[in-house]
Structure 1
Amino acid sequence: MATIVQTLSVHQLSTASWVCLFALLALIAFVIRQSTSPIARIPGPLLTKFTILPIVYQDHIGNRTKWTEGLHRQYGPVVRLSPKEVSVSSSASIRDVFTGSAKAGYYPKAPIFNIFQHYGARNAFSSIHSENHSWRRKIVAGNYAQTAIVAKEAKHGSLWKNVGRFLNMIKREGTTSGSGPAKSIDFFSACRFYAADNVTSHLFIEGSDALDGDQEIRRIIEDSAEGPSDVMSYFKMEFETLNSAIDRIKGMIFSLLNLEQKSTGRSRPATASGKQVDLEQSQWYGGTAIRDWGFKRFLMTRDALEQARIDTSLESPVGAKLAANSMEGEKSGWIDGPPVQDAGIRLLKSSASDEGLLRFYRNEGCASECMDQFLAGLDTVGDTLAYVLQTLSMTENRRSQQALIPECSSLDLPQEYDVPLSSKQLADIQAALYVEAVLKETLRAFPASTTAFQRTVPPGGRMLEGHFVPGDTIIGGIPTTINRDTSVFDRSCTFDVDQWLPQRWLDADDNTLAEMNRRLWTFGSGGRGCIGKHLAILEMKLLIVGIYSRCSTAIDDETPVKVSKK
């Protein structure tokens, strides 16, 4: 019996040794493979060669952006964030990744963009491949051209009327403090109301009336505002299982220690994953009140087009152009193509024998496009204007107000807002030097998006800044990092890139200014840059001018800023 036990123990020991040996060999092989992979040669922390844990941890604590910025300062324009992710910040790499070319090939968007669908349907922003983005963008691109935006405003004056409604809201709802005429108001919400009324009037036959006091739409807009934890939750979805496990472990530890776990902010709605949510699953179509509201507004716009109350000209709502595309697909006698996993697309063959496919919208796709443009305009314009007003109100920036007020007053704009501004007046506003400097500096210092714009390296890989990046690697750039490039925005070592200093845009020579304009990355770049950029800029300039043209020029006795180009 003892012999059998001894033999068994030796056998068990031998098996355990073999298991340990195989585990050790597997670990050695893994380390060698990771250490010799092309991405391992890219600069970055040692641990990021082997595991995703550093970036998962940074995502989990909401520090991804600052962590990445720090790595760029330490390692240079191309840094490794994980065994499958790289961040870039140089002009050459940004141009290659985010502009690309038909010859070299385009970088598809990363899978993270799947979450920006609405009603189960993709839109231009959430389209992964360039060809699927291009046909969507072409339908509405004309409505967002600068000439079309200015011509529409000169004829109808919708944006200028909303400036008046913004100022009337302050008079009506502002709280008087002290003995003077000044009134205080929650300008973050006020700026978002202004942005919402502008963009919805551009998209739908009937926009929002937040500035005039519609409490339902105000509540919807305020509920849609994202906190820091909401924004970072985009990237938590990349590693959803791991982050869920971390949350469960933290919950168990806090429970065992009888500690209260602090909330990280309100959780994002289920539709953040881009999945379709029907009325049977939620009281709102699309899963949230703002999506439900947007879908109904699109259907109203389509009804107006069908009844010939509006047309598809550049002066009409963008939703009309989208609805016309959907109606064309419905009325064609073509044969349905193969089914697709996208509730917003209708694929059609031109004939039974023709394998060529044509793409048309369904209602869900049209509404998804409208919702994307609505939310983008709401966040970008609303947040940026809030930063403008907050920054200008600071004591250290009083000289900037002193420069802004006389420039705005000199434009000699009417004090009433029911008559559209002329093309000449709009051109003067667009050319106002200090208004331009204040807006660009705010866009640079406080971009509305502070998270990485991600792409996927095409098959075969690419060379970036002397480093080979393998295919399928996630590659991204962060606006805050690029907007703080000292070699571009502080060439003379005069202006700290971490400070808000409009004067940098006035003191730059022509070559430096051209490079600053190219490198201002708040709206992205290339063919997939922000389609609503020109509308957003005009909205913001009009409100800045509308506010500061009504202010007194007597602020203080400090030496005024000289508003002129060098």
Structure 2
Amino acid sequence: MLASDSLALKALAVGLMAVVLRFVIAYVTSPLKAFPGPLVAQFTDLWRFWDYMACTHTNNHRQLHEKYGPAVRIGPNLVTLNDPELIREVYSTRGDFHKSNFYEVADASSQGQRLENVFSTRSNVFHARYLKPYQKFFSMSTILGKEHLADNMAKVFCEQLETRFVDGDNKNKMFDLADWIEYAAWDLDWEMTFSQDMGFLKSGTDVDGMIHTGEMVMRYLGCVGQIPWLDRLLGKNPYCPIKFATFEGCAFYCFQRVMERIQSGKTGQGDFLDNFLEAKETHPDIVSDNEVVSYLMMNVLAGADTTAIEIKSITWHLLSNPEAHKKLVAELSSVALSFPPKYEETKDLPYLNAVIKEAMRLHPVISGVLERIVPSGGLTLPDGRVIPAGTKVGMNPWVVHRSEQTFGPEPNTFRPERWIKGPDEPQEKFDARLKKMKDADLGFGSGNRICVGRNMAMVEMHKVIATLFSRYDIKLADPTKKWSVRYWWFTFVDDIDVKISRRAGVPSLAKIPRTGGNNMQTM
């Protein structure tokens, strides 16, 4: 062996020893030694990176908490919690626990600069400033002012289902209802945002690959967010040879619609584009055309996928539980619903609401930890242990939502009745139990970063579920076949193969009067 080769090997050995020594010192001196977890995770975030890559994180997080208790260390500087009592502190309305650098991966990039948005920003000041101009447009009263746009989608949805799978030669034809719920959600969000039919339902396809792009961006966020600095080498690196999915196409589309609406002067559509242009007029110091585009993108990209996931979850759990399915159909049949059903007609139906809550509990949209940074003073746990300031902490809804202490017996079972007062249950006991469950609900997030679009999502879920289960008899094509769930950062759903037919006494679309709110504008 040459002397130079020997020196190189010695240098490499010394380097490796230095790296190992650094990890050992960090482990020994870490203030998080009191928090158990996988051994490798104590040294490197690679453990959780590979956990996400393998889509095993939801099950692993649950099993780790079952093994180690309420606080588990899954990274050198990350402790995941499962105590619902801590939700009010970690995700408070004060926003004392700021978002971690996980969210910087969701920043946009333009000419080498990072551009934060209302979702990705780690700053409460930035969040409050840019949320204020458009927050009012997501009040329930404002959303219901757009319900006629949601009705347009519901009509097209039924038209396509009946033409393709119910009537004529297509009667009892098997199809994947998950795909069509996805198309409906995307068309609905586009309709309410731009007063425009994007054609997902009419074409029965993923228009311009937008659904696929959204899914791949969430895949990237979930994985790379575990080691956020990787984003600088990958997605935000213009010289990276690997090209990752981006929302550039959607951004360009939104910008075109903004320019068209401004140039035409045709406001008064009653959609979100009108609302966001109004925000530009009332808050010119905050909202420019770029902010309008950012608001529009969050509306269609964050709203469509998330709502579709929950509608699929509700549908699957109903079809997999015949008794719950039967109860919901009976409740919907007991009231005189319009076509499409109005939110005002369904919002107080107890079993429908229980079904929605239970499906969202069992299948939250987010599959990972909602990361926050412990502020100065640290976080004291109920058992007395203290998590020091600067530590990343958070909760995984898939863990918190399965607490038997909070949600009662059989927390892994779909049982809508847990949200309804029992026949012999004292009112006071039910109220306390219900409050406990609601306080532990992370379906829309919590605190100052709670989902601004939750009212819109609730109206959409009510409308689609009430339409499907009041109008059609729906059955799984093969009751033994399970649905498919992709545990990316969003928990995407596929393979709900069904056969459908119109329920007895329900007229075909051709026989529905084309007057007033029931006018079939798309036929």
Q: Same fold (TM over 0.5)?
A: yes
Indicate whether 1:484 and 2:402 are aligned.
Answer: yes
Q: Is contact 2:45–2:226 with CA below 8 Å preserved after alignment? A: no
Residues 211-360 of structure 1 mapped to structure 2, 5 A cutoff: 211-213=201-203, 218-224=207-213, 226=215, 231=219, 234-239=222-227, 273=235, 288-304=248-264, 307=265, 309-310=266-267, 316-326=270-280, 360=286
Larger deviation, residues 110-119 vs 230-239: 230-239
Structure 2 counterpart of 1:399, which letter? E
Distance in 1, matches of 2:79 and 2:267, equals 48
Q: Is contact 1:173–1:185 with CA below 8 Å preserved after alignment? A: no
Structure 2 counterpart of 1:289, which letter? G
Distance in 2, matches of 1:329 and 1:136, equals 10
Q: Is contact 2:327–2:351 with CA below 8 Å preserved after alignment? A: yes
Structure 1: segments with no counterpart, 5+ residues = 1-11, 246-269, 331-358, 556-566
CA positional deviation for 1:378: 0.9
Residues 43-442 of structure 1 mapped to structure 2, 5 A cutoff: 43-99=36-92, 101=94, 106-118=96-108, 120=110, 121-153=115-147, 157-174=148-165, 181-206=171-196, 208-213=198-203, 218-224=207-213, 226=215, 231=219, 234-239=222-227, 273=235, 288-304=248-264, 307=265, 309-310=266-267, 316-326=270-280, 360-394=286-320, 397-415=321-339, 417=340, 426-442=343-359
Structure-2 residue corresponding to 1:338: none
* Residues 19-39 of structure 1, C-alpha deviations (whole Å, 9 max, x = no match): 98x998996786455334321
Structure 2 counterpart of 1:141, which letter? Q
Distance in 2, matches of 1:28 and 1:404, equals 61
* Residues 404-455 of structure 1, C-alpha deviations (whole Å, 9 max, x = no match): 112112221234x4xxx6xxx6333001111111111111111122122112
Structure-2 residue corresponding to 1:560: none
| Secondary structure of residue in 2 paired with 1:497 | coil
- Over 3 Å counting, the alpha-carbon distance change for 1:129 and 1:230 in structure 2 is closer
Distance in 1, matches of 2:153 and 2:257, equals 19
Q: Is contact 1:42–1:79 with CA below 8 Å preserved after alignment? A: yes
Indicate whether 1:544 and 2:465 are aligned.
Answer: yes
Q: Is contact 1:119–1:364 with CA below 8 Å preserved after alignment? A: no
CA positional deviation for 1:300: 3.2
Distance in 2, matches of 1:298 and 1:186, equals 35
CA positional deviation for 1:489: 0.9
- Over 3 Å counting, the alpha-carbon distance change for 1:463 and 1:73 in structure 2 is same
Distance in 2, matches of 1:438 and 1:303, equals 45
Q: How many percent identity over aligned positions?
A: 22
Q: How many residues align?
A: 453
Indicate whether 1:443 and 2:434 are aligned.
Answer: no
CA positional deviation for 1:287: 5.4
* Residues 330-355 of structure 1, C-alpha deviations (whole Å, 9 max, x = no match): 7xxxxxxxxxxxxxxxxxxxxxxxxx
Structure 2 counterpart of 1:368, which letter? S
Q: Is contact 1:44–1:75 with CA below 8 Å preserved after alignment? A: yes
| Secondary structure of residue in 1 paired with 2:390 | coil
The TM-score normalised by the length of structure 2 is 0.76
CA positional deviation for 1:317: 2.6
CA positional deviation for 1:276: 9.3
Q: Is contact 1:329–1:361 with CA below 8 Å preserved after alignment? A: yes
Distance in 1, matches of 2:106 and 2:231, equals 20
- Which is higher, the Rg of structure 1 or of structure 2? 1
Distance in 1, matches of 2:175 and 2:263, equals 38
Q: Is contact 2:52–2:222 with CA below 8 Å preserved after alignment? A: no
Structure-2 residue corresponding to 1:503: 417
Distance in 1, matches of 2:176 and 2:31, equals 51
* Residues 275-331 of structure 1, C-alpha deviations (whole Å, 9 max, x = no match): 899xxx99x9x6543343333233334445xx2x225xxx8333334334446777x
Distance in 2, matches of 1:406 and 1:549, equals 9
Structure-1 residue corresponding to 2:499: none
Structure-1 residue corresponding to 2:491: none
* Residues 219-241 of structure 1, C-alpha deviations (whole Å, 9 max, x = no match): 434423527x9536533354378
Larger deviation, residues 503-512 vs 160-169: 503-512
Q: Is contact 2:372–2:394 with CA below 8 Å preserved after alignment? A: yes
CA positional deviation for 1:52: 3.2
Q: Is contact 2:400–2:440 with CA below 8 Å preserved after alignment? A: yes
Structure 1 counterpart of 2:175, which letter? I
Structure-2 residue corresponding to 1:519: 440
Distance in 1, matches of 2:72 and 2:129, equals 34
Q: Is contact 1:118–1:276 with CA below 8 Å preserved after alignment? A: no
- Over 3 Å counting, the alpha-carbon distance change for 1:23 and 1:183 in structure 2 is closer
Structure 1 counterpart of 2:405, which letter? S
Structure-1 residue corresponding to 2:487: none
| Secondary structure of residue in 2 paired with 1:87 | strand
Q: Is contact 2:214–2:301 with CA below 8 Å preserved after alignment? A: no
- Over 3 Å counting, the alpha-carbon distance change for 1:325 and 1:172 in structure 2 is same
- Over 3 Å counting, the alpha-carbon distance change for 1:431 and 1:402 in structure 2 is same
- Over 3 Å counting, the alpha-carbon distance change for 1:319 and 1:53 in structure 2 is same
Distance in 2, matches of 1:210 and 1:30, equals 51
Structure 1 counterpart of 2:43, which letter? F
| Secondary structure of residue in 2 paired with 1:81 | strand
Structure-1 residue corresponding to 2:378: 461
Distance in 2, matches of 1:456 and 1:550, equals 48
| Secondary structure of residue in 2 paired with 1:126 | coil
CA positional deviation for 1:507: 4.7
- Over 3 Å counting, the alpha-carbon distance change for 1:487 and 1:275 in structure 2 is farther
- Over 3 Å counting, the alpha-carbon distance change for 1:409 and 1:287 in structure 2 is closer
* Residues 497-549 of structure 1, C-alpha deviations (whole Å, 9 max, x = no match): 12222222225622111221221211101121111111111111111111222
Distance in 2, matches of 1:363 and 1:457, equals 35
